[in-house]
Amino acid sequence: MTCMDASPRIDAFWSCLKTMEPPDLGQESRAGTRSVAWVKAEVAALGADLGLGVETLERLQAVALLYHDHHNEAHDLVQDMTDREGALIHALVHRREPDFWNAKYWFRRVGDHPIYRSLGEQLVGLKGHASAQAVARSMNLTGTVDPLALTDACESVMRKDAGDPVVQFLREVQEAEFRGLIGYLAGN
């Protein structure tokens, strides 16, 4: 199966996985998240449909669990992974803890990752509050989102209200990051 063949199934998986509101930047739980058992069953079904290997399934489970606010379960899956995708998921877990220093450590281990190039392309078209546009420019100076700058932006708003336009923008960016990573893992 090629990435093109997998795309409709991945889009359907994302539609099923997606919640009404994007994940919090920290560890706050949201309404509408699914149970650990549900997440694992959905990932297993996707894996069976696409013929994905065990390692890919573990990474997809970790991403989906973190997306649904199951931080500890996601961390348990990635804590011993030493590859680039494992390090990326590990960075996301720590950014949401929030343990920004540790998140940056893991992002540095990832290096350049394709999801941040596509995320950079998405940011170019986003319209919004002037303060959110300034944050978008600071993360996207080279056409690629800098995950360290994204981490700094998340840290800078940790004490702000959820209604703040920059917080809302960063939550949307983070959701696009999750979607991109799921697509990358399931399509490769």
Instruction: Report in angstroms the alpha-carbon separations of 66 from 53, 63, 87.
Output: 20, 5, 14
**Domain spans, the chain:** 3-187
* Predicted confidence (pLDDT) per residue in 2-37, tens digit: 333 458 888 888 988 999 999 999 999 999 999 999
Q: Above 70 in pLDDT, residue 128?
A: no
* Predicted confidence (pLDDT) per residue in 148-171, tens digit: 999 999 999 999 998 999 999 899
What pLDDT is recorded for position 161? Answer: 92
The model's pTM is: 0.91
Average confidence (pLDDT) over 73-99 = 97
Instruction: Report in angstroms the alpha-carbon separations of 23 from 55, 67, 133.
Output: 24, 6, 20
Structure-token pair, residue 64:
């989906």
